[in-house]
Amino acid sequence: MNARIVAAVVAIGAIAVLADAARAELGLVVERASGSLQLVDNAKRASLARIEGLGDLSHASLVYSGDGRYAYVFGRDGGLTKVELATARIVARIVQAGNSIGGAISRDGRVVAVANYEPGGVKLFDAETLELLSEIPATYGAAGKRAKVVGIVDAPGDRFVFSLFEAGEIWIAEVADPRRPRVQKLAAVGREPYDALITPDGRHYIAGLFGEDGLALVDLGNVKAGATRILANYGRGEEKLPVYKMPHLRGWAVAGPYAFLPAIGRHEVLVVDRAGWREVARLPVHGQPVFVMARPGGKQVWVNFAFPRNDTVQVIDVERLELVQTLQPGRTVLHMEFSADGDEVWISARDDDRVVVYGTATFARVAEVAAKRPSGIFFTWRAKRIGM
């Protein structure tokens, strides 16, 4: 086969993959130990390619460009890597900090923001070239110390919202001009915010607090009101259990009229009425929740757990507010990801080197995909969703 024919075949294949991306049928599985990604077709439940050379992926996350063509991968080593799904290759990579913990992409797709532990702050990059546009140092207090940045999300109005762990603050950066971001700082929201979510409508930002009971809530439609404490009394007077893995909030635990949140240091999922942000129930669960994730359509919430009970996943029926299923996908369950229609869920079982696929209506195991120490799973339908 001559070179022109080969090039034509490759181009046709790339177009086909791009079409799949637009239909939200592709995804990336983080293979944390080998610094690689596995490109998967979630409709066919099949592996397509492996992408290597992404550095330390021990706590990696990623976001997609609006068309699902590119993924921006945030590595624990400060690496920011741009990956093209159509060709399953790295198109750009920089090491922008000493230690980072995630990132976000602006709603218009122009700016990628990276949250950094070391040095503490947020850096803004051009999504096309990965050129550094500006930096927002997370300095606080009279001594000008830098805080670790956590819980970064994109928000309507050219904004990124993030929390400062040591400072106990929430900052909102407006990046219409990303070289000159404007930052609004909300102080004294609670001790040690550790992660956050933004509601699917982009209206509310909720940060969990590691240093005390309760959560911090910001109404992004009325920022001048500052942050409000909610659920401040849910654990008062009770001794917390040792926390082996910090809960994660970014998976959107919003379903129907409720928000479902992990109770840090407890074997409970908290159910909150979003109309008044009041607790309506505490659901006892198998262990300390890590991810509490709503199935698309809002009928179920799926929960996985921290060590040593991390071989189990439980399912909550949203209408009845009760547990309806317990599954054991494998050893060290780290992450869950739903198909766009919510009919299936992919679950990474790290120590079994596999991703297990379940039907969400029947709870039947329908497929397995081999992977090297898999952790995060991210499908391209996220490209169209805020905060994902």
Residue 2 counted as domain residue:
no
Cα 275 to Cα 193: distance, rounded to the nearest angstrom = 23
Is pLDDT at 78 greater than 90 in this prediction?
Answer: yes
Note whether residue 33 is domain-resident: no
* Band of pLDDT at residue 10, cut at 50, 70 and 90: very low
Strands of the sheet with 365-370, listed across from one edge:
333-338, 344-349, 354-359, 365-370
Helix (H) or strand (E) holding 9: helix 3-22
Q: What is the DSSP letter of 13?
A: H
Q: Let me know: does 115 contact 99? Beta carbons within 8 Å.
A: no
Q: Does the residue 214 lie in any domain?
A: yes
Inside any domain, residue 367: no
pLDDT at 244: 67
d(CA 140, CA 158): 24
Q: Which domain holds residue 224?
A: 96-244
User: 355, 368 in Cβ contact below 8 A?
Assistant: yes
What is the CB neighbour count within 10 angstroms for residue 238? Answer: 11
Query: Which H helix or E strand runs over 20?
Result: helix 3-22
253 pLDDT band, cuts 50/70/90, is confident
- pLDDT single digits (tens) 176-214: 999 999 999 998 688 999 999 999 999 999 998 888 888
CATH of the domain at 103: 2.130.10.10
- Cis before residue 296, ω within 30 degrees of 0? no
Say if 180 falls within a structural domain. Answer: yes
Residue 123 lies in a domain: yes
pLDDT tens per residue, range 221-243: 999 999 999 987 766 556 666 77
Indicate whether 330 belongs to any domain: no
Q: What is the DSSP string of 202-217?
A: S-EEEEEESSSSSEEE
Q: Quick one: which of 310, 325, 321, 312 has its CA closest to 360?
A: 325
**Bigger pLDDT: 218 or 15?**
218
The yes-or-no verdict on residue 38 having pLDDT over 90 is yes
Using CB atoms within 10 A of its CB, is residue 237 exposed (0-12), middle (13-18) or buried (19+)? exposed
d(C-alpha 58, C-alpha 42), whole Å:
23
Residue 155 lies in a domain: yes
Give the tens place of pLDDT for each residue, 277-295. Answer: 999 999 999 999 999 999 9
> What total number of domains does the chain contain?
1
**Are the C-beta atoms of 137 and 157 separated by less than 8 Å?**
no
Identify the pLDDT of residue 232.
79
